[in-house]
Amino acid sequence: MNPLRELQKQGQSIWLDYIHRKLITDGELERLVREDGLRGVTSNPTIFQKAIAGGTDYDEALRAVPMKDPRADATKLYEEVALEDIRMAADTLRAVYDETGGADGFVSLEVSPHLAHETTRTIAEAKRLRAAVNRPNIMIKVPATAKGIPAIEALIADGLSINITLMFAPSHYEAVAGAYIRGLERCSDPQKVSSVASFFVSRVDTMVDRELQKLAPPEAQVLRGKIGVANCKTVYQRFREIFYGAEFSRLRNRGARVQRPLWASTGTKNPHYSDVLYVENLIGADTVNTMPAATLDAFRDHGRVRGATIEEKVSEARSALLQLKQLQIDLETVGNKLQEEGVDAFASSFDQLLAALDKKRLSLVGFEGQSERA
């Protein structure tokens, strides 16, 4: 049986961490839904930067924008093509959304990374994007920064489905789960809200491994490649405590959904590690794994599903995190640094995309002349 389908039997949804117009128009996204049981798509500024600015595939679509608006700038060009990709992907996944009663079938779109430290503008931008896409199966991505947390709460209270991103440390998870619950308490119809808490994996190992390599003790080297998974396992235990305990029972009685942990950054970056490391070891009920295309293909080819691995060896995971602390590597410090770097990286990708589009708009046939005549 297809290993990706087996994950679904364990209560885990598979989303694709990639979007490109050809993926949709060539029927590949529909095939992934039909054959592999794909249940969602995530995007971010880096993914759009590679898709739109990385070749000529979008030139025809970009050329059509000034026909409607001769004064369109790079931001307008980006939104016209990106939002159309999101709409088409959402339409492809609409059947999944309907079949699961709004639990799955989502496409995620991120607010501008330049708003990561601005609460009020993040709220306004999330609502604007949600209205612009105008599809029920859209999740707006908001980072779990200090200023993002109150924005998340306000958006949940207003009934929007939110994908909270750039989470690396246990404190990030606590803040996000709290914001979700507070938002639902203020929401008039909580059963219509879906949310995922995107907890990043491979980037944690990359940074922690780098610190471990500087240390001499053998016990330090034993921890390499283990902290990312251990971090997720302890977060999952906390998820179970919060959402299946008394704390959430009243909201559950009002029809509210649990906020599923989503394992992000699950493409293995270290070539010495298994290319399905962050899939095989993070299988569990009420979770999502959003995979890059290469990881999804690898797992389909040789992945193994041996049960709810997210709940295996939890005591060993806690021990590994304790050992890390004893080695003077603080996971909270690592997580906060990774979050800062993530915001900066997405902002840089977004700026590179706009710069590339600004050049492209002048090179596309007819665009410059139309702009001058305007």
Positions marked active-site: 141
Distance CA(108)–CA(131), nearest Å, equals 14
Distance CA(301)–CA(282), nearest Å, equals 18
Distance CA(31)–CA(294), nearest Å, equals 16
The residue written with tokens 């920064």 in the block is: 145
Segments in the chain forming alpha helices (H): 3-9, 21-25, 28-36, 45-53, 59-68, 74-99, 119-133, 148-157, 170-186, 202-212, 218-222, 227-243, 246-253, 277-280, 293-302, 314-326, 331-363, 367-373
CA distances for 356 relative to 51, 109, 329, 370, angstroms: 12, 20, 39, 19
Assign 20 to helix, strand or coil.
Answer: coil
Which residues does residue 196 pair with via DSSP β-bridges, in sequence order? 163, 260
Dihedral sign for Cα atoms in the order 151, 154, 156, 161? negative
